[in-house]
Structures are given as structure tokens and as C-alpha cells.
Amino acid sequence: MATSKMKTKTVFFCNECGYESPKWVGQCPACREWNTMVEERISGTASSIKSTKEALTKGETVVASVSQISLEEESKISTGMKELDRVLGGGVVPGSLTLVGGDPGIGKSTLLLQTCRFMGNAGEKILYVSGEESLKQIKIRALRIGEFSDNVELMCETNLAIIEEVIRKKQPKIVIIDSIQTMYLEEVTSAPGSVSQVRESTGILMRIAKGMDVSIFIVGHVTKEGTVAGPRVLEHMVDTVLYFEGDRHASYRILRGVKNRFGSTNEIGVFEMRGEGLVEVANPSEFMLEGRPKDASGCIVTCSMEGSRPILVEIQALVCRTNFGIPRRQAQGADYNRLNLLMAVLEKRMGLSLGECDAYLNIAGGIKVTEPAIDLGIIMAVVSSFRNVPLSPDMVAFGEVGLSGEVRSVPQLEGRVREAKKLGFKTCVVPATGEETLKKTDGIKIIFVNSVAEAIDLIH
């Protein structure tokens, strides 16, 4: 009994950052968040010491000088889905650990199952491990997606020790873990999904990925705040973090990379959910502008850059007199505080009496845009609705607006104008600072503006 007590101890973990403390504290000393410490019982100290000694005996620890390290780039494996390859930085890197997060029912499992189908048909050996569904349930979903080759093998298991042995025996190239919150280690006495179980399980999977050169995808559930459930240190441990966004009741889905050690974190992939699974959207701009109203006030098209990809989105604004003492402001798909700021600029610099009006802003298509380049579009949409004057349907406007009412330049002007021209727009309202960059533009009219006043003069 005395030996058992020595191997088991109680510690407190922070849910946000993973900080470990021997006693409970109200505020985490590391991330300064309140009431995030949870109690966990951990064990297995003796086994961890044993594994450390075994690693040193076998000579698994490698020490190398900088000159001895080769810089040859490893070839990436295509997933068979161009949108997913774009977000991953060109494909799957051998030995990488990727975390895929998203709301329940958004399509995480469907996305990874389709990836298994494409890569399995291309000859890659894949192991799909599910801790939430039975083999028959996965089979039903697989039949809806399409035909699978024998290279894709399924397994229903939550014991990570058994999963590790199967991986060593089968030697797959790709492993899918669905989901990390259902996995557990027998050495850790806490329940599956707890802070210590999630952290230790991810550590084991990372060791498997790096040691056996296996690419592992793990599915993570998200909390009501929109972050992956479990310790925040989980995101720091993996190589890539992908978030699957969108309304599960709508057809569109957006895959966004928030961390990527092998590529850009600004790229997004756009998918449409259909009966046969997820379908890639090759031209998101055209998809977002479907069903655009004609001759309606408060509507204008703007351009946002998502990594190297320009996406045209429609901004809709509705401004009307309020029936209450305090006007209401609401923004869907854009920053609510940014809307208040831009309306304050219009009141102060342009003299518009918007303080007595309710204002509603919507980015059509459900996409979330936070780039300041859409400021000019918001300004023109709000004024158009306030004056009840429709804007030209073939006009695109983009530019950052400052507190003095000036219109500032935005990056990649040429790419934005090229995208607008490709989709048939005739006029672009852009910051005057880009006049040198956009000297030669055939087939589209460029209107340069220095201030909000010049842009609003176009609404008549």
C-alpha cells in the first residue's frame, strides 16, 4: 500500500495553458486566468523513469552538430483534395501531427474519411481509429462518400497502448484518431477527456509520429468559446492546427489553419456539404456572391485576402430609425466594435446623424472577415442604406479607414483588382496610395480616393 501511494499523487492543472500546481489556486500564475485549475490524480512515475532509462540504454537520443543536419526538403503527400492541400501548405508532411478542431456535426470526421478514401485509392496505407463510432456506423458513412480501397483499415479502440501496438504492427503511413478526448492511458488514473489524459495521450501520439515517421491526424472537440477542449498546451504540442468553421445548418464549410510549421497560417479551404460528402469550392468568390440582389440599397462587394487567395464577399447594411432610446448595433461575420468605430467616423467627419439609427451589418455567405481592408466597403454600404440610394452592382470597394476619415492602402492591390475583373466587375474603388501600383489596368475602371468624403460622393 505504501508503494502505491508513492506512485500516485494529486496535482492541479490549468485548463487554459496546462500549468501544473501542487495545490489549488484561484488564479493561474502562468496565464492569469481565474477558476481554471482542475484537480487530477496522476501515476506512473516508476514506468516513466523506466522508459527513460531504456531510451538511454538503447541509444535513441541523437546529438548532432548543425553542419551534419541535412536541409533536403521532405516530399509532401497529396491528400487528393486541393483545398486541404492548400491549408496544409502543399500536402501532408511525413511524421507530422495535425489537430483538426470544430463544432460537433460540422463535418470533421467526414473530411478526414474522404481524405482516407482519396489517399487510400492513391496507394497509401491508412489506419482510421474511432473512439466514438462503431465499425458499422463508419461503414454507413463511407458508403455515402464512395468506394474505398483495401488500403484503408478501420479500428474501434480507445486504449492508446493497444493503438500504439497496432500501429507498430501494421506500419500505416497515415493514422486518424477520432477523437483525442476519447483516448486514455492506463497509467493515468483520471477519466478520458480530462486534462492529464488529453495531454499525455497527445504526447504519446507525437512520439509515435516522430519516431515511426507516421503522419497522424487527431480530431479535437471545441468548447463553447470555440477553442479545442482540454489544456491549451495541446495546440503547442502539435505541428498543425486546423479549425473547421461554418454553420452546420448551412451548406458551406471553411477550413482555416491557425498554426502550421510547414506552411502559411493565412490560407483557407472552402467546401460545400452535400449528400455525397464535402465538395471542394474552386472559386469561393463566385460561390459567396450567388443570389446577390439587384438595385438594393446598402449592398456592395468588397475583397478580402485569405493568405494568397482573394475572396470577393458581399457586405449588406441596414440602417433605420430606432424606436428606443438607445440605438441597436449588430454585426454578423464582421467585427462588431469595428462597425461602431466606422459609424463614429461617419458622424464626426461627415456629419451624418447615425446616433438615432439602428444599424445591422451582415457578410453574406456566412464567412467571417476581420481584415481592415473591408472598412471602405462597410462605410459605403452604411451610407447607401442611410440615404436609401443603391450602389452600382458592378462596383467593388476596398481600403482601410482611419479615425481621421482617411483611406489607407491595403496589401496585394493588384491581386484584388484581378479577382474583381475576372468575375466581371467594371469599377474598383481603391485607396489613392495605390495609384503607382495600378497604373496599367485594362478592362476595369479604377477610382482612387483619399478620404471617406470622396468615396461617399460616389453614392448619388
The verdict on residue 402 lying in a domain is yes
Pairing of β 174-178 and β 152-156: unpaired
**142-163, pLDDT tens digit by residue?**
888 888 999 999 999 999 999 9
Q: Do you know the residue count of the chain?
A: 460
Parent domain of 117: 76-282
The verdict on residue 37 lying in a domain is yes
Mean pLDDT for the stretch of residues 339-368: 91
pLDDT range class, residue 56, cuts 50, 70, 90? low
Q: What is the DSSP letter of 390?
A: P
More reliable by pLDDT, 57 or 266: 266
Q: Over 60: is that where the pLDDT of 229 sits?
A: no
pLDDT range class, residue 7, cuts 50, 70, 90? low
Q: Of 251, 282, 313, which closes a domain?
A: 282
103, 236: one domain: yes
The verdict on residue 249 lying in a domain is yes
Tell me how many domains the chain contains.
Answer: 3
More reliable by pLDDT, 18 or 220: 220
129, 210: one domain: yes
Listed residue (346, 350, 318) closest to 331, CA to CA? 318
123, 196: one domain: yes
The residue with cell 485548463 is 15
Query: Bridge-partner residues for 13, per DSSP?
Result: 20, 38
The verdict on residue 219 lying in a domain is yes
Q: Over 60: is that where the pLDDT of 1 sits?
A: no
The verdict on residue 71 lying in a domain is no
Mean pLDDT for the stretch of residues 8-20: 75
Q: Of 227, 247, 282, which closes a domain?
A: 282
User: 140 near 154, Cβ under 8 Å?
Assistant: no
The verdict on residue 432 lying in a domain is yes
Percent of the chain with pLDDT over 70: 88
SS3 164: helix
Which of 8-12, 39-43, 132-136, 435-439 has the highest mean predicted lDDT (pLDDT)? Answer: 132-136
Q: Over 70: is that where the pLDDT of 227 sits?
A: no
Distance of alpha carbon 108 from alpha carbon 102, whole angstroms = 7
Q: Which pLDDT value is given to residue 390?
A: 94
423, 396: one domain: yes
Mean pLDDT taken over the chain: 85
381, 405: one domain: yes
Question: For residue 254, how far is the Cα from the chain centroid?
Answer: 7
More reliable by pLDDT, 402 or 199: 402
For the entire predicted model, the pTM comes to 0.74
189, 273: one domain: yes
266, 337: one domain: no
The verdict on residue 65 lying in a domain is no
Q: Apex CA 352: angle with CA 350 and CA 353, to 5°?
A: 150
**240-278, pLDDT tens digit by residue?**
999 888 766 667 888 988 889 888 887 888 898 888 889
Longest dimension (CA), the chain: 86
The verdict on residue 108 lying in a domain is yes
**86-122, pLDDT tens digit by residue?**
999 889 999 999 999 888 888 899 999 999 999 999 9
